[in-house]
Amino acid sequence: EGGLGMTIVPELILKGIGGNRAAVELEPACTRTIGIAERSIGTGSPACAAFMRFTENWVKRNSEDAIQ
């Protein structure tokens, strides 16, 4: 009724989004694991290799946790 809403979204979604929002850390913290796989290391297409490099660099820049 008051035009208010609540949702749980990954912190990375909130980066770079302006507006009237508040972020609250949950206890215990919610986490997720994201994986990328290819059939055999180094056998993917050049586009696949570029995507893997881009994704690894993006995660390193935008995440507090180190990529494993």
pLDDT attached to residue 31: 79
| Measured distance CA(33)–CA(37) in Å, rounded | 13
pLDDT attached to residue 54: 92
Q: Where are the domains of the chain?
A: 11-62
Alpha carbon 8 to its chain centroid, in Å, reads: 14
Q: Note if the pTM is more than 0.85.
A: no
| pLDDT beneath 50, residues of the chain | 67-68
| Measured distance CA(35)–CA(6) in Å, rounded | 28
pLDDT attached to residue 1: 63
